[in-house]
Amino acid sequence: MGNTGSVNEDKGMLQSDRSNRKNVKKLFWKHVRSNMSNIELITISTFSFGCIKELNDTITYEELMNKLGMSIILDDERGDIVYKILKGLSNWPLISDFHHSGDRQYDEFTLNELIIIVYLLYCKGFKKVGLDDEYVIRLIFKLISKNSESIEKEDEIDIIFNKKKKILWNLMPIIQSYDNNENEELGINEMETLIKFLLPLSINSIYNKSFELKYKIENRNIIRCFINGNGNGNINYQSFIKTYRETTPLLINPIYEIFNSMMESNNEINTNTKPEYKILTLQKIAQISTVIDIKSLEMKSKAIYRGSRDGFSINSFTMKVVDKQRKGKILCLSGNDTKIVVITDGEWESSHRGHRVSCLEESIVVISPQQRVISDNNNNNNNNNNNKSTIIIGDTSPPCTPIITMDNTLERAVIDGVSVPLAEVEVV
């Protein structure tokens, strides 16, 4: 199925037993409890209730979102999507036990359920039971596409364990079948709503008012990748996961960070100052986060170089970016309706003539009007035969064929063999 982690167990040594749904939930709770520290449990309780509470004490969904600083999503369809995800996870592995009261504002989560959700997301619980990210992606896909039709529940469940009596959750049929949930299609509106939640969540650690920003262009760019001529129809999971791997391989990752403010309350979050960029706005950073881990970047308060501010010339570029050992991590090009972002892993270099500036080892992404990964050195399936690409500026006779070439004035660039005028060049 391609959704479980690697299994090193000898199939001949596996054993199985049958149990009822109630006992399976007890067994999973035992697993959760043994993999979480007392400090983590206390943190969840005190954040949610202000003190240590009993496992069956409850908090409403509205109160939980308020405490997480996400009350704004309660006013639109994002509130429904997030509720479905959290409530479904709180019942994992038996997600068919998820019941909706009809008014999510008053639906409640027990402390027990919150602990399970935090374990699965913040504590990377899925990986601890041998399930990979694509299992989680498919699970979320099914949870938010879940319709009102009842799913036939299995009363007797096969439990798989090894000779040491350790339960192998990832091999259990009920988990591999997502508790018999066969939903494999997602409405375009639901997909767009999910993206509207994930983008602000992805930069919430940079700017904690991220949910107040508008992401209209970025939402449109990403949803276009998944529609592919479907019009107003549905998105099939197989089509979705293919596009996901090729264009937005980290789109779902922010879901693991929903409870960061709960579990990392001592972390300081920039609440007042937005980074000073022109091309690379916070919204664009959110879109870039669907391709790379933005936490690995050193996000400066302002751009090192900006053409409109520092001059469109190779000398200005060299002085600001290359000289004095300055190391820009992101090269942004803006021209016509296209924006190119180059994530650099290497150091900028300059020839003795000062006409050629290059930086090796890049991931190059078209972020507008339709997101597309041109070159990703971390992806062995990319179409570029060169493992290292070179950005060359102002050299009419480059030693190799780069993906992007810019002239001395930095006013034109050749991108994928097409010459385009540049309105702006920025290095962060």
How crowded is residue 121: how many other Cβ atoms within 10 Å of its Cβ?
A: 21
- pLDDT tens, position by position, 120-145: 999 999 999 999 999 999 999 999 88
Q: Give the pLDDT confidence score for residue 387 in this predicted structure.
A: 43
Q: Give the pLDDT confidence score for residue 375 in this predicted structure.
A: 61
Show the CA angle centred on residue 291, arms to residues 272 and 89, nearest 5°.
80
d(CA 372, CA 305): 25
Per-residue pLDDT of the chain (428 residues; tens, 9 = 90+): 445 444 455 555 889 899 999 999 999 999 999 999 999 999 999 999 999 999 999 999 999 999 999 999 998 999 999 999 999 999 999 998 876 555 555 589 999 999 999 999 999 999 999 999 999 999 999 998 855 455 667 788 999 999 888 999 999 999 999 988 888 888 889 999 999 999 999 998 888 889 999 999 999 989 988 886 555 578 889 989 998 998 899 999 999 999 999 998 655 555 556 778 888 889 999 999 998 888 877 777 788 899 999 998 888 888 888 876 667 788 899 987 778 888 877 778 777 555 677 776 677 888 777 777 766 544 444 443 344 556 777 765 555 656 788 888 888 888 777 788 899 999 98
- pLDDT tens, position by position, 184-195: 888 889 999 999
Please, are residues 168 and 9 in contact by the beta-carbon 8 Å criterion? Answer: yes
